[in-house]
Amino acid sequence: MFLSPPAIIILGMEQTTQTTLQVSDRCDVCGAQAYIRVELELGELLFCAHHGNANKEKLAPIMTAWHDQSEELTRR
């Protein structure tokens, strides 16, 4: 056994929060392709790179996770 049971539980929790954005996902502000997914206690928001950066400071106090996939999606 490489991992003790607590380590396995922690890894499992991280994996459940990983959702890859699709090309069909759209920015909630302007409708452009979404590159940033923001998790909040009440749900989630999708943003293009521009609006993600524009709203980052405002959302910082209430967001639980920030996923910026702009590098992954533009590498295609």
The site for Zn ion (CB under 5 A) is made up of: 27, 29-30, 32, 48, 51
**CB-based contact 49:62 (threshold 8 Å):** no
Phi and psi at residue 68, to the nearest 5°: -100, 110
In the complex, least distance from residue 6 CB atom to Zn ion, rounded to whole angstroms: 40
> Whose Cβ is closer to Zn ion: residue 32's or residue 60's?
32
What tokens does 71 get?
């590098």
In the complex, least distance from residue 51 CB atom to Zn ion, rounded to whole angstroms: 3
In the complex, least distance from residue 34 CB atom to Zn ion, rounded to whole angstroms: 8
What tokens does 13 get?
């929790």
